[in-house]
Amino acid sequence: MAAAIDLRLDFDGDGLRRVARASRDGRQVRRLLALAAIYDGATRSEAARIGGVGLQIVRDWVVRFNERGPDGLIDGKAPGAQSLLSTEQRHALLRIVEAGPIPASHGVVRWRLIDLAQWIWDEFAISISKQTLSRELRTSGYRKLTARPRHHAQDADAIPAFKKVSPPSWQQSGQRSPAARP
């Protein structure tokens, strides 16, 4: 069995409890209290019982705490999956979106996500879903534009009858004299 990793010397049990009291992250508080017990002389098994975890997890907490202090015990955001497109491919995609399609060569007059996905397949042999492509374009500052919905049987002559007129202009009434008030 490997020797226990020593905790940092710039903290103590009471100091960690103060930090835990001020923290708003419940998971960090649990980890800080488990490490505070170790500072006070508890075994790693007792600290694991306090934290509700196993010994390996307590060891991981000690390593994170020694490297980054109390902030190392806060769970960070998971990085997520890597982008399917490289930087050069993303720049090529943005250039073609900005230039717009050429109807003779691309076969479309307006880019749709499915058309761009097909272009990416033709150019780079990368299969990308519409959702992923939409996310790539949104992170680059593009938004999907849609036309305002229009009913197929809309009567153009009836539109003026349903238009809203400009709001009435309100006029302030004159001041009433104190004698005229009831």
pLDDT in the model for residue 115? 93
Q: Return the higher-pLDDT residue of 59 and 180.
A: 59
How far from 28 is each of 23, 35, 59, 85, 134, CA to CA, in Å? 7, 11, 15, 36, 36
Distance from C-alpha of 110 to C-alpha of 30, rounded to nearest angstrom: 55
Q: Provide the residue type at 118 as one letter.
A: Q
pLDDT band of 177, cuts 50, 70, 90: low
Residue labelled with tokens 């499915």: 114
pLDDT band of 122, cuts 50, 70, 90: very high
Residue labelled with tokens 């990085």: 79
Distance from C-alpha of 82 to C-alpha of 86, rounded to nearest angstrom: 10
> Tokens in use for 103?
């109807």
The proportion of the chain whose per-residue pLDDT surpasses 70, expressed as a percent, equals: 90
**Whole-model pTM?**
0.50
Q: Which of 101, 179, 84, 175 is nearest to 137 (CA)?
A: 84
Tens digits of residue pLDDT in 45-64 = 999 999 999 999 999 999 99
Tens digits of residue pLDDT in 79-112 = 888 889 999 999 999 999 999 999 888 888 889 9
